Structure 1
Amino acid sequence: MVRQPGINLLIANEYGWIPIHEAAYYGQPECLKALLGAQPGVVNKRTKKDQTALLLAVSRDHPRCVECLLEHGADPDIPDKDKETPLFNACEKGSPEMVAILLNNGASVNKLCLHGWTALHEAMVQNNVEIAEMLVKAKAKINIADNFGLSPLFVAAQCGNVNASRFLVKNGADINSQAKDGATALYEACKNGHEEIVEFLLSQNADANKPGKSGLLPIHIAAQRGYDRIIQMLIPATSRARVRRCGISPLHLAAERNRDEVLEELIEAGFDVNAMLSEDRSRLYEDRRSTTLYFAVINNNIEATTMLLRAGADPNLDVFSPLLVAIRLGAIQLVTLLVEHGANVNIYIPTLPTTFPVTVMFAMKYLPLLKYLMDNGCNAMSCFYCSYGSGIHPPIKASLRNTNELRTREVESDTNTCVEFCEMISAPSICRWAGPIIDVVLDYVGNVKLCARLIEHLDSYDDWENIKEKSEPPRALMQLCRLRVRELIGKRLHRIGKLPIPPRLIKFLQYKTSDDLEATSGQTDW
């Protein structure tokens, strides 16, 4: 190429490119020689993105252009606007030939890009051991960390690159170095489900008990992500005492994300099914949940709930009982599981003071659930306590904060006493079911006297007249006998079916006989 008079080789286009950039980008070494022969001073000229002709030639994988530029004095360490050098780009492209050319021409191997990465970091992303070997021979720092504290080994583990990880460990990489958030290479491999990396790191004695900034161990993050194979590898390497100090069990995280297979692995390995969240972690949840069982129940996860209960989970440890959660969900199967495993059907909550069990309040909209609770020993008699009796009741102040969930107090009386059954049943969201609710509860009490407000409800519909009559004393002797027997059985009511007594008597005690049985009080042929 012969330079013609009047042609300015330094005139740039809108991107700041001059002819030397075009020639390098399109792989024209002969043009480069001619241009540099005419204007040798432009060899390191930059575009508006701070790209040199050398960097463009590397990025397009033109080795002959790269050699030409270096022969004419191109600086191999001039970075672009992201502080990425030609050597960094050669590693990004995975070109051993280009890396060798640059290193042989004095390229600095430990230059940092804008984010603190070196060429070795980039080689690890590409899982290119050949390039990594060249960089290490050129004195690349094995344990150099980027702006976030990530070492090349961390990057290799994060990407699941086994060969690169093996190479680094063989060459002295710190296997337990931690990023600024506390994560290790093992933690990151667990987080991303890289089983082969986890297996390799553990074989090299990687510490499975180093927590991240969040306080979680590798086993926690693997449980959360549902990697049961990784969980199997981590169990023998994880300290149970260290797990306890974290304030959260991997069981909690597995249950929260419905990772049933992981949950099963952890239970079989002997993790404590009654482990409680620490106070700090419990406060992160509005309902102040504490147990793994609570997570399973609130997710309506029958399988997980069953596994936990069979393994000995206590259903009565949380401030807000899992049984209340199940009732609120209308989940009869969950309710049955919990009650059969000892859940307290007579729960009272300090933040929601009532004169009757809160389970009754939550079950008012689910009559089959209400009946089931009564069948299993819920205190029906407390529903008929009323401080006003036959007298005039104060007006009800409705406070419908949430008509779908009875989490908050729906009625407020003029007194500062506990909420009574007649008040709660008068809430606008409940009162249309007042008759059937009273009807169910009456089956589980002897002689009672309805207060003025309950009578008012029963008088509001003609169809409820028979319920009012049902409440009038005296109750049938057989009803009173049934109540007395059930009282003696106590907390074992859910096991009535296993008692060594005639089947018809069992049905009678379980309220499974015909409606007219009570009237045939003289019949005794059990």
Structure 2
Amino acid sequence: MTPDEQAIIYCIQNQDSSELASLLAANPGLADTRTDAGVSALMLALYTGQRHLARSIAAHRMGLDIFEASALGVRAVIERSLEMDPDAVMHISADGMSPLHFAARFNQPDICGLLLDRGANPDFVSENPLAFTPLHAAVAGASLESTELILDAGASVDRRQGDGLTALMAAAGTGQIEMVALLLDHGADSDARSEQGLRAAELAIDQGFDEVADILGA
């Protein structure tokens, strides 16, 4: 990685939008920077909750890959990618996730629907320590519409992610009351226990989400 590429990563890590803009203006090619692990600067910005920086980087890119387009909701890029290679819907990113994971995680229900229609696997487990399915990604992104689409496509509601939590446990522990209700409506097991022996209701109580615990029958 060159010093300028390192500077791009530093700007993202430190939320320095001004310096990032200056670097990209001087050398637009830096928008193609990737970390040593192969994660694009654009995706790194999204992972750290800086969508404005991701869009700034995207504006300097000659093109997006299907993962980035899925995360940003750029339907035209995805459709073009799938026309060229229908199997792209099952491609895996440098950090082990499918396009559907990214669409779900970054609240792009329209893209989730497109990918599912094109054969995306709603139960694909990410090839990384998170061991996320797209359902887990949708819950992490608090994307109700994406969650419903993925469940309606046949996703397993009680599959566990890498830390042993089900989607219901994760939603309860983060206070997502509407998400909890949706998962319950789709048959989520409220009596399942985490690796620490806690039910979803108890995880909600631990985090101060008493209203969530109430609908879970605490």
TM-score normalized with structure 1 length: 0.30
Shift of 1:93: 3.2
Name 2:169's counterpart in structure 1. Answer: 220
Residue 161 in 1 paired to residue 127 in 2? no
* Match among 184, 191, 205 for residue 255 of structure 1: 205
Distance 1:84 1:266 in 2: 38
Write the deviation string for residues 269-325 of structure 1: whole angstroms up to 9, x where unpaired.
Answer: xxxx4xxxxxxxxxxxxxxxxxxxxxxxxxxxxxxxxxxxxxxxxxxxxxxxxxxxx
Distance 1:125 1:214 in 2: 24
TM-score normalized with structure 2 length: 0.68
Map residues 14-33 of structure 1 onto 2, 5 A cutoff.
none
Residue 148 in 1 paired to residue 95 in 2? yes
Residue 264 in 1 paired to residue 214 in 2? yes
Distance 1:172 1:158 in 2: 18
Residues 255 and 80 of structure 1: CA distance in aligned 2, closer, same or farther (over 3 Å): closer
Higher helix share: 2
Write the deviation string for residues 321-344 of structure 1: whole angstroms up to 9, x where unpaired.
Answer: xxxxxxxxxxxxxxxxxxxxxxxx
Write the deviation string for residues 123-178 of structure 1: whole angstroms up to 9, x where unpaired.
Answer: 11210111110111121621222233211110111100111111111111111111
Name 2:137's counterpart in structure 1. Answer: 188
Map residues 93-112 of structure 1 onto 2, 5 A cutoff.
93=59, 99=63
Q: Tell whether the 8 Å contact from 1:94 to 1:123 is kept in structure 2 after alignment.
A: no
Distance 1:81 1:229 in 2: 36
Residue 170 in 1 paired to residue 136 in 2? no
Q: Tell whether the 8 Å contact from 2:168 to 2:190 is kept in structure 1 after alignment.
A: no
Distance 1:226 1:245 in 2: 17
Over the aligned positions, Cα root-mean-square deviation in angstroms equals: 3.3
Q: Which amino acid aligns with 2:80?
A: M
Q: Unaligned 5+ residue runs, structure 2?
A: 5-22, 44-53
Residue 129 in 1 paired to residue 75 in 2? yes
Q: Tell whether the 8 Å contact from 2:135 to 2:150 is kept in structure 1 after alignment.
A: yes
Q: Tell whether the 8 Å contact from 1:193 to 1:230 is kept in structure 2 after alignment.
A: yes
Residue 232 in 1 paired to residue 181 in 2? yes
Which consecutive aligned stretches of 4+ in structure 1 deviate over 6 angstroms post-superposition?
A: none
Residue 210 in 1 paired to residue 156 in 2? no
Distance 2:172 2:165 in 1: 11
Write the deviation string for residues 225-264 of structure 1: whole angstroms up to 9, x where unpaired.
Answer: 11111111111421356x1475320011111011121111
Residues 245 and 81 of structure 1: CA distance in aligned 2, closer, same or farther (over 3 Å): closer
For residue 149 of structure 1, give the secondary structure of its aligned residue in structure 2: coil
Higher relative contact order (CA 8 A, sep 6+): 2
Residues 122 and 81 of structure 1: CA distance in aligned 2, closer, same or farther (over 3 Å): closer
Q: Unaligned 5+ residue runs, structure 1?
A: 1-14, 16-48, 60-78, 100-117, 268-272, 274-526
Q: Tell whether the 8 Å contact from 1:251 to 1:266 is kept in structure 2 after alignment.
A: yes
Q: Which amino acid aligns with 1:212?
A: Q
Residues 205 and 138 of structure 1: CA distance in aligned 2, closer, same or farther (over 3 Å): same
